[in-house]
Amino acid sequence: MDEDRLLMEKFPSLIASAVVGIDGEPLSMGLPSGMCVQTFSIMCATILGASATANKEFGGGRPESVLVEGEGIRILVVPAGRRKLLACVAKAEDDTSALLKGMKEITASIQ
């Protein structure tokens, strides 16, 4: 089963979810119709890459997660194996800690 679909099943209130290569390549997408798959994928990879660079400047390692909060939504991005990431878009009122825990459980199966 695709990890993005598994995440959507576990958290049915999610707006979107995706597995993306760290180079921005869309691998498995659960996005609403009308969204640009390439733009979402590339931006999620950029978010994770930029946070890794910022972390490195302070002597930190690879980020465990990145949270972007916007009006009415939250975007969460977590590394998934060495070459992928799992991203989702949640409603602002969704339980971010439960979602993050679920994402990390799912990413444990991604190579």
pLDDT tens for each residue of 10-62: 888 999 999 999 999 999 999 999 999 999 999 999 999 999 999 999 999 88
Q: What is the pTM of this model?
A: 0.92
Provide φ and ψ at 41, rounded to 5°: -60, -50
Residue 93 dihedral angles phi and psi, to the nearest 5°: -85, -5
Residues 6 or more apart whose Cβ sits within 8 Å of residue 59: none
Between CA 33 and CA 65 the distance in angstroms is 26
Q: CA triplet 49, 55, 60: central angle to 5 degrees?
A: 125
Tens digit of pLDDT for each residue in 56-100? 999 998 899 999 999 999 999 999 999 999 999 999 999 999 999
Q: How far apart are CA 30 and CA 53, in angstroms?
A: 28
3-107 is classed CATH 3.30.70.1290: no
